[in-house]
Structures are given as structure tokens and as C-alpha cells.
Amino acid sequence: MSTTSPREVVPELGPLLGRLADPAVGPARGLALDDVRFALLSELFELGGAARQFAAEGDVPAAASSLGRHGLLEAWERAVAAVAARVTERIDARLRGAAAESRLPRRRLARLLLDDEERRAISVRLGVAGGPFVVALDALEHTVPGVGRTEAGLAAWHDALGHVARRLEVAWERLSAAAGDEEAAWDAEIERVRHWRRPRWPLWAITAMVFGVALYLGLVLGGFVPAPGVLRPFAEYWWSR
């Protein structure tokens, strides 16, 4: 393969990533994920920088490997984990806020907050967004052995890398949408907590009991009902006044 510059060996990732690298992309249904997106981009650019360093040293296979399946997949999995943590934190925070408004007892709130199993399930569901991206990574990996041999091998790796970047852009959009859906799925439960009211029946039961006792005592002291033995001394004292 003829001599090529590092940037010819390893293309700029920004243009390949499309909207993923667009600073103007807004939050998903009010869920701010820009910091996670920027962290993912930073990892990708660091991988690209390392790959160009290998290319500058003449080690083209190492350049392709450093921007290969392993590093790209790890960066994606960290992004998914960060988004899952953001979603679960938001759900728990909204539940706590709603409980504070309605004065829901802490014991009942504790049963509503996400447990470890629910957190894992959310993370798994979010990770599904990266399915096509992972398939593209597998295809990229198959092109790595031919990168340092021929121009055609390098071209095949470039094509596969471009496909990976496009799949990652779509995967991020799906991940963002799925994160919004996961939070929205809790809207009804959060509203139910917000509108919770303490049951009134204990208050009414105590009021009725007090009223009944007062009525009975009034009838006894008024002479309308015979005084029972336990109340007889008190009734006679009352009548003697």
C-alpha cells in the first residue's frame, strides 16, 4: 500500500457522526442528555486521535484496531449506562417530589422507588437501541485485517467505519427517544402519588365514636337511660348538684 497521511488513513469522525456531533441537538422530552452525548463524543475523538498517532508512526493495522469494535463498543456501553442512570434518577426524584407535595408516608414511598431489578431492566431496554450499531461494529472488525495490506483493504475499512458512524448516530437518537419513553411510562404513577390523600375514614370513625359516647353520656345524665353500675356514682354526683 502506498504511503498515506494519518488523516487519509483515519478520517475525521465529526462529519461522519451527523446529528450526534451537532451542538444544537436539544433534550429528549425534557430529559437533558447533552453531557452524556459530549462525553461519548470525547471518547470517540480520543480513539480517533490515538488511531491517527499510530498511523503517523506507520502502524496502519494498529490505527484500525484502536478505532475498532472494542473501543467503540465500550464507549457506547458507558453512554447507555449513563443515560440509564439519568433516567432512573429522574424517575426517583419525580416520585419524591410528588410524595412531598401529597405528604405520602415515607414507608409507602420507599415501596414505589425503583429497585435494582427495575434499574437493570431499564438499562437493558435502553441498550436495545444499539442493536444495529453493534452489527455494524462486527462488520467493521472483519475489515481490520486487510487495512495494512492493500488500498482496497483500507477503502473497505473506511466504508465500514462510515457505516458504524451512521449507525451510532441513529442509535443515539433511538437511545434518547427510549429514555424519554422510559420516563414518560412513569407519568401516571407519579401523578397518582401527587394526588394521593390521607384516608378520611379513621378521622370519621373517631369522630363518630366520640359523638356516640357523648350522646350516651348525655342520655344517662339526663335520666333518659338507666345509669350502668360503673357510671352510677358519677351520675348521682351530677344529679345532686
- All three cell numbers of 175, joined, read 437511545
State residue 117's pLDDT score: 95
Three-class DSSP category at 4:
coil
- All three cell numbers of 6, joined, read 494519518
State residue 116's pLDDT score: 94
Asked whether residue 24 is domain-assigned, the answer is yes
Verify that 144 and 209 share a domain, yes or no.
Answer: no
Under the phi-then-psi rule, with left for phi > 0, alpha for psi from -120 to 50, and beta for the rest, what region is 30? left
Distance between CA atoms of residues 80 and 86, nearest Å: 10
Asked whether residue 105 is domain-assigned, the answer is yes
State residue 187's pLDDT score: 93
Verify that 132 and 219 share a domain, yes or no.
Answer: no
State residue 135's pLDDT score: 96
Phi and psi torsions of 33, nearest 5°: -125, 10
To 10 degrees, what angle do helices 69-102 and 116-127 make? 130
Q: Is 152 exposed, middle or buried (0-12, 13-18, 19+ CB in 10 A)?
A: exposed
Phi and psi torsions of 228, nearest 5°: -70, 165
Print the domain residue range for 162: 6-194
Verify that 137 and 116 share a domain, yes or no.
Answer: yes
Verify that 115 and 185 share a domain, yes or no.
Answer: yes
Verify that 131 and 219 share a domain, yes or no.
Answer: no
- All three cell numbers of 149, joined, read 495490506
- All three cell numbers of 60, joined, read 496502519
State residue 24's pLDDT score: 66
Verify that 135 and 161 share a domain, yes or no.
Answer: yes
State residue 37's pLDDT score: 94
State residue 148's pLDDT score: 76
Evaluated on CA atoms 224, 229, 230, 235, the torsion sign reads positive
Cell 463524543, residue? Answer: 41
State residue 204's pLDDT score: 57
Verify that 209 and 135 share a domain, yes or no.
Answer: no
Asked whether residue 46 is domain-assigned, the answer is yes
- The model's pTM is 0.78
Give first-to-last CA distance, the chain, whole Å. 121
Q: How many domains is the chain partitioned into structurally?
A: 2
Distance between CA atoms of residues 67 and 49, nearest Å: 9
Task: pLDDT tens for the chain, 241 residues: list them.
Answer: 445 566 678 888 889 999 898 876 555 556 789 999 999 999 999 999 999 999 888 888 899 998 999 999 999 999 999 999 999 999 999 999 999 998 889 998 899 999 999 999 999 999 999 999 999 999 999 999 888 778 888 899 999 999 999 999 999 999 999 999 999 999 999 999 988 876 554 555 566 676 666 666 766 666 666 767 666 676 666 666 6
State residue 40's pLDDT score: 96
CA dist 47 → 6, 13, 39, 63, 149 (Å): 13, 10, 13, 9, 22
Asked whether residue 1 is domain-assigned, the answer is no
Distance between CA atoms of residues 168 and 131, nearest Å: 10
pLDDT digits (tens, 9 = 90+) for 202-219: 555 566 676 666 666 766
Q: What is the DSSP letter of 31?
A: B
Q: Give DSSP secondary structure letters for 91-120.
A: HHHHHHHHHHHHT--HHHHHHHS--HHHHH
